[in-house]
Amino acid sequence: MGGFQRVALDETYSFSRGNQKITLVLLEEVPSESLNSFYFNELDLINKFNLELMIATGSRWQQFLFFKDLINADNHSKNFVSHSLRATVLIRLASYFSKSKTNLITVIHQLPSMSAPLQRIKRFFYSSFSNTIFTFSEAAKRDWNVRINSNLFSRILFRKKNISLLRNGIFLDRVSDPDRKKMFDKEAELRLVFLGRPTSWKGVNSILDLAQLGALSKAKVLFFFPYDAKGLFDNLPIEVSERISVVVGKSFRDYLPSYGDVHLYPANYGDSAHFIESISINCLEMASVGIPSFISKGGLLTWPEFLDNPLFVEVDWSDRIGTVQKIYDSFRTQFDDSDISKVRRIIDVDNHTSKLLDFMI
């Protein structure tokens, strides 16, 4: 489950708890093994909120007809929150052939600079079909505006439409609020934790490099991957590979926090990147259970409230000595419960959905 799928699902839970009638639509068939894992991890919440899940598969034409029928299912006005630009276009086109009033909100989950030039133009054009456009971070918003203002066509296209900030949130009922006195063993060893896709830009190799440093030679390493990272550990020294544990296909709900855990997220946007967004959903989840996250320098732009919060630590990954020192400074730190409570209050997805409701008809 990727970040935008996680946000969409947490939105669904939040809206349902607020007695809003909501349907979650997927544009692709889910592989059976992933669906089984999904239901296993989320079944209690799916049942609790009676989640309605629909899958709009097939050709673009078939998906267009699906949304047309969905809009025309009754005479009520419809609000759509789209996390897919393909869905944004299909919903808007379907609305032109429907009788019900349709309000379309699109959430952009990628920095424009991370797209190739042609793909970026397409993404800008597709997003223009929305009534309202949001993005998840201040960095992404600034990147968007710089790109829009640098092109005459884009400036004309978006002259009456701005992008607004809608920060990600977590549905905290699926994240345990640990009794730290019971769950955290003060004798636990240092463990470096990574959750996410095993891709180079997310910094997996940076963690492997750190694990081979003499100063971290006794640290355990835990990887939570959505799929198998074949060949990633083939060339590691045996004394390093013996310290690595890998969990595949599980969610954050399967993660058991340990007192010695530190979460590493060395996202690398490239040397030419002007905008950095390095606080992932997993960083927020970790902070909500009292585990500190080490993030790429500049990443706190999205959450300025956390500038002085010890659960978020910016590091320069190229400075290995400085990074190791910061890791040991946080290792076995007993964070104040007020720090964790403040994080949970700020990242609660209800803040996110409340803002969405302000833009609905």
For the chain, domain boundaries: 3-171+348-358, 176-346
CB contact at 8 A, 161 and 339: no
Q: Distance (Å, rounded) from C-alpha 34 to C-alpha 236?
A: 29
List, for residues 349-360, the tens digit of each pLDDT value: 999 999 999 999
Same CATH topology for 3-171+348-358 and 176-346: the answer is yes
In single-letter form, the type of residue at position 187 comes to E
pLDDT band at 198 (very low <50, low <70, confident <90, very high): confident
Q: What three-state secondary structure class fits 257?
A: coil
Q: Distance (Å, rounded) from C-alpha 17 to C-alpha 176?
A: 18
Closest CA to 84 of 117, 54, 129: 129
Of 60-69, 213-222, 230-239, least confident by mean pLDDT is 230-239
Looking at residues 13-37, what average pLDDT do you find? 81
pTM of the model: 0.88
Average pLDDT score, the chain:
87
CB contact at 8 A, 41 and 250: yes
pLDDT band at 186 (very low <50, low <70, confident <90, very high): low
Closest CA to 140 of 279, 11, 242: 279
Looking at residues 214-241, what average pLDDT do you find? 90
Question: Could you tell me which residues come within 8 angstroms of residue 294 by beta carbon, excluding any fewer than 6 positions away?
Answer: 262, 263, 264, 265, 266, 313, 314, 315, 323, 326, 327, 330
Tell me which CATH homologous superfamily contains domain 176-346: Glycogen Phosphorylase B; (3.40.50.2000)
CB contact at 8 A, 134 and 164: yes
Return the pLDDT at 271.
66
List, for residues 276-310, the tens digit of each pLDDT value: 777 889 999 999 998 999 999 877 877 888 888 89
Looking at residues 132-158, what average pLDDT do you find? 86
Of 55-59, 124-128, 141-145, 298-302, least confident by mean pLDDT is 298-302
Tokens 């003499």 belong to which residue? 214
Q: Distance (Å, rounded) from C-alpha 128 to C-alpha 161?
A: 8
Tell me which CATH homologous superfamily contains domain 3-171+348-358: Glycogen Phosphorylase B; (3.40.50.2000)
Task: Give me the half-sphere count of Cα atoms (radius 13 Å) on the Cβ side of residue 355.
Answer: 17
In single-letter form, the type of residue at position 200 comes to S
Structure token digits, residue 164: 């607004």
| Antiparallel, parallel or unpaired: β 163-165 and 293-296 | unpaired
Enumerate the β-bridge partners of residue 294: 264, 313
CB contact at 8 A, 352 and 14: yes
Structure token digits, residue 218: 């006794």
**pLDDT tops 70 at residue 228:** yes
Task: Give me the half-sphere count of Cα atoms (radius 13 Å) on the Cβ side of residue 10.
Answer: 25
List, for residues 43-102, the tens digit of each pLDDT value: 788 888 988 989 998 999 999 999 999 999 888 899 999 999 999 999 999 999 988 899
Return the pLDDT at 43.
79
Return the pLDDT at 292.
93
Tokens 């833009």 belong to which residue? 359
